[in-house]
Amino acid sequence: MIHGSSVRVESASWQNLLAGSITDPRVLLARLKLDPGLLAGALAAGREFALRVPEPYLLRMQPGNPNDPLLRQVLPLGEELEDQPGYVTDPLGEQHSNAQPGIIHKYHGRLLLVVTAGCAINCRYCFRRHFPYAENNLSTAEWEQALDYIRQDSSINEVIYSGGDPLAANDRRIAWLTRQIADIPHIKRLRVHTRLPVVIPQRVTDGLIEALSATRLPVTMVLHCNHANEVDAQMLAATQKLKSANITLLNQAVLLRGVNNRLEDQMALSEVLGDNGVLPYYLHLLDHVRGASHFHCSDAEAKHLVGQLLTRLPGYLVPRLVREIAGEAGKVPIHVDLITS
């Protein structure tokens, strides 16, 4: 792990940590004492989808290790620029489900709100790495239209804050939005999909807790953590705070070659999360987004891995293996047999 910056991180606000994220590959390689030979590829791939890594996340990486599982999630690589058959810019067809700016309405009963365009970290495998966020950055009038869309469709009973990362919005915006949504009688629950409590745990402020928990709506937060090395004391302090406010905590991960495709990686992740009150929810097969093919694991490998987990962990610590297919009515579960060997 990197030492030396932790005092600054511990005393900084989440906004400063967000603003101070590393976006220059030269800085990342120097901080981690990595081979400068990685620079040309990082600069080229970073032009298509920028590098972005916040300091608290960087501090959990091992210097000198180009295969660090956290580094692999954020370091742009030259191979991202090689076209691979079947890897496209919008693998889930979301641009067709983008009912109007700010809204993605794919499934019955629930709807995604694109609360912010930005993320605290740029994950190289992200299926939204080519999403037209600029068209989904809402003005106040557009927010009213998005809320009207929800008000007029009584089949929607759950709103999901998404992004970008919805917690990149400030507490005032989240409080306002949550009050507006709680005022719609047919909305029964609120869900927040976020990676921020993992990558900048300082984001979980008292103001955020108040903004999320001040209404009648039960709140579920689905974190996104792919590897046990992402879990540190500060992240656990953040999850503890959320739990104390009766926010249900789940985790979704993406199965990524070179990051978490070994049995010991998945076991360690499920155990550390479960021991701290965060239940594994989904393990996603990689969406075939352009630039991410080097993370691909075959279906057979994925099924073998989860089949092994089923015989080694209690069922509630085994995530459901799923694939997202454009146009389907929900996430598609992948059948897994028990594997004892």
Cβ closer to ligand SF4: 187 or 290?
Answer: 290
Kindly determine how many residues on this chain lie close enough to bind ligand SF4 according to the rule CB under 6 A. Answer: 10
Amino acid found at 104: I
Identify any residues that bridge with 43 across adjacent strands, giving them in sequence order.
Answer: none
Q: Let me know if 215 is exposed, middle or buried by CB neighbors in 10 A (0-12, 13-18, 19+).
A: middle
Cβ closer to ligand SF4: 127 or 143?
Answer: 127
Identify any residues that bridge with 335 across adjacent strands, giving them in sequence order.
Answer: none
Report the residue from 17, 112, 123, 169 that binds ligand SF4 according to the rule CB under 6 A.
123
Cβ closer to ligand SF4: 128 or 307?
Answer: 128
Q: What DSSP string runs through 231-298? A: --HHHHHHHHHHHHTT-EEEEEEE--TTTT-SHHHHHHHHHHHHHTT-EEEEEEPPP-BTT-GGG---
Cβ closer to ligand SF4: 15 or 244?
Answer: 15
Report the residue from 29, 103, 119, 204 that binds ligand SF4 according to the rule CB under 6 A.
119
Residue 331, token pair as written in the block:
């996430």
| 178 scored as a contact of ligand SF4 (CB under 6 A) | no
Report the residue from 21, 98, 116, 122 that binds ligand SF4 according to the rule CB under 6 A.
122
Report the residue from 165, 230, 265, 287 that binds ligand SF4 according to the rule CB under 6 A.
165
3-state secondary structure of 309: helix
Longest CA pairwise span in the chain (Å): 58
Cβ closer to ligand SF4: 28 or 184?
Answer: 28
Stretch that binds ligand SF4, among 36-44, 78-86, 114-122, 132-140 (CB under 6 A): 114-122
Report the residue from 74, 121, 269, 289 that binds ligand SF4 according to the rule CB under 6 A.
121
Cα–Cα separations (whole angstroms), residue 291 to 79, 81, 236, 339 = 7, 6, 32, 32
| 128 scored as a contact of ligand SF4 (CB under 6 A) | yes
d(CA 286, CA 258) in angstroms, rounded, equals: 13
Cβ closer to ligand SF4: 182 or 322?
Answer: 322
Identify any residues that bridge with 322 across adjacent strands, giving them in sequence order.
Answer: 284, 333
Omega before 164 cis (within 30°)? Answer: yes
Residues 182-211 that bind ligand SF4 (CB under 6 A): 195
CB of 311 to ligand SF4, least distance (A): 30
Cβ closer to ligand SF4: 226 or 234?
Answer: 226
Identify any residues that bridge with 111 across adjacent strands, giving them in sequence order.
Answer: 159
- Build a one-symbol-per-residue string for 22-61: x at contacts with ligand SF4 by CB under 6 A, - elsewhere: ----------------------------------------
CB of 256 to ligand SF4, least distance (A): 11
| 72 scored as a contact of ligand SF4 (CB under 6 A) | no
Residue 158, token pair as written in the block:
């759950």
Q: Let me know if 202 is exposed, middle or buried by CB neighbors in 10 A (0-12, 13-18, 19+).
A: buried
Stretch that binds ligand SF4, among 93-101, 123-131, 140-148, 308-316 (CB under 6 A): 123-131
* CA nearest to 253, candidates 73, 121, 84, 91: 73
Cβ closer to ligand SF4: 175 or 292?
Answer: 292
Site residues for ligand SF4 per CB under 6 A: 119, 121-123, 126, 128, 163, 165, 195, 224
